[in-house]
Amino acid sequence: MPTTVNLFPTCLAGTFRESIVIAAEAALRRAGAEVVRPQGLTCCGQPAFNAGDWENARRMAEHTLRVLEGYEGPVVMPAGSCAAMLRQHYAELFAEDPAWLPRARALAGRTYEFSEFLVDVLGATDLGVDFPHRVTYHPSCHLLRALGVDRQPRALIAALHGAEFVELPHAEECCGFGGVFSAEFPEIAAAMLERKVANIAATGAEYCITADPSCLLHIQGGLNRAGVPTRMIHIAEVLAVNSAQ
């Protein structure tokens, strides 16, 4: 029986790059899963949480919990930082709330980041995707350090047919987005971004693959400004490309 997956589009992907959501759904299907799009999902509350505004973060988290409690089975997010929010920070938000804490923990236990779910749960590494391009990979900070997910997206990339992988110099360095950070300190964010853009340019890759829509959009903005032809692309978008045969 195929696994039924609840796909959480996340607000940034859903608003600014819906192709990620569509691609994630297609890739999960290709890997043999049934995909459900729970009705009523909006934003997990991470922006408010990161800004220190726990009151508003709780309101959004409560909303998210109510919606997802109506759907059984794993919740998959095509965004490392959002997955970290549900998995790690919901429990902190409700640490002193005996009514909500068990509900937050239950959701955390069934939440996965997209690439992690494909590789670790579905065991689907090679989806038969033909991708004859020079590519590199930007491991986003929350995915790499908060969730410890690195092997999985790299395995997915290694299994692409025809792709030439180039390691990104200083790959593990932050791109400077940081949510509210880049709105509050745009000059520092831009300086950090310049560094990331230069490293990406040095790879000569056609595509820089990442698993977080926020970093993706931020870095794409930097590439545009610098006139670097490399395109940012989400791992889900890569995996939804027509298959090799």
Partner 1 sequence: MSTLRQSIRHALANPALQAALDANAERRRAARERARASLPQPWETMRRRAAEVRADVLAHWDEVFDRFVANARRNGFHVHLAADAAEARRIVLDLVASRGKGPRLVVKSKSMVTEEIGLNAALEAAGHRVIETDLGEFIVQLRHERPAHIITPAVHLRRQEVAETFHARLGMPYTEDVEAMTATARRHLREAFLQADVGISGANFGIAETGGICIVTNEGNGRMVTTLPRLHIAVMGAERLVRTPAELALMLELLPRSATGQDLTVYTTLIHGPRREGETDGPQERHLVIVDNGRRRMAQTPLADGLRCIRCGACLNACPVFQEIGGHAYLGRGGKPTPYPGPIGIVISPGLFGFEDYGNLPYLCTLCGACAEACPVEVPLPDLILQARRLSTEAAPKEESAPPPLPRPLRAFLGLYARVATKPALFRLAQQAIRPLARLTAPLSPIPFLRGVKATPRQSQTANRQSPIANRPSQPAPRNPQLATHHPPTASSRPLTASRQSFTSALTALGGEVVPVPDMVSAGEAIVAFLQREGLKRVWAWDEAHLPPEVVAALDATGIAHPVAAFPPEDETDIPKAGLTGALAGIAATGSLVVPAGAGRPQTASLLPEIHLAVLRAADIVPDLQAALTLPAVRQASMTSIITGPSRTADIEMTLTIGVHGPRRVVVFLAP
70 binds partner 1 (CB under 8 A): no
Name the residue nearer to partner 1 (CB basis): 7 or 189.
189
**What are 155's two structure tokens?**
């395995």
Q: How far is the CB of 153 from partner 1 (least distance, A)?
A: 11
* Interaction pattern, residues 27-46, with partner 1; x per rule: CB under 8 A: ------------xxxxx-x-
Positions 99 through 128 that interact with partner 1 (CB under 8 A) = none
Q: Which of 98, 95, 75 is nearest to 86 (CA)?
A: 75
Which range, of 51-59, 99-107, 108-116, 118-126, touches partner 1 by CB under 8 A? 51-59
Q: Are 218 and 178 in contact (CB under 8 A)?
A: no
What span, in angstroms and rounded, lies between the C-alpha atoms of 227 and 214?
20
202 binds partner 1 (CB under 8 A): no
Which range, of 98-106, 108-116, 119-127, 169-177, touches partner 1 by CB under 8 A? 169-177
Q: Residues near 15 by Cβ (< 8 Å), separated by ≥ 6?
A: none
What span, in angstroms and rounded, lies between the C-alpha atoms of 139 and 164?
17
180 binds partner 1 (CB under 8 A): yes
Find residue 134's DSSP bridge partners: 164
What span, in angstroms and rounded, lies between the C-alpha atoms of 3 and 19?
23
Positions 216 through 245 that interact with partner 1 (CB under 8 A) = 216-225, 231-233, 237-238, 240-242
183 binds partner 1 (CB under 8 A): yes
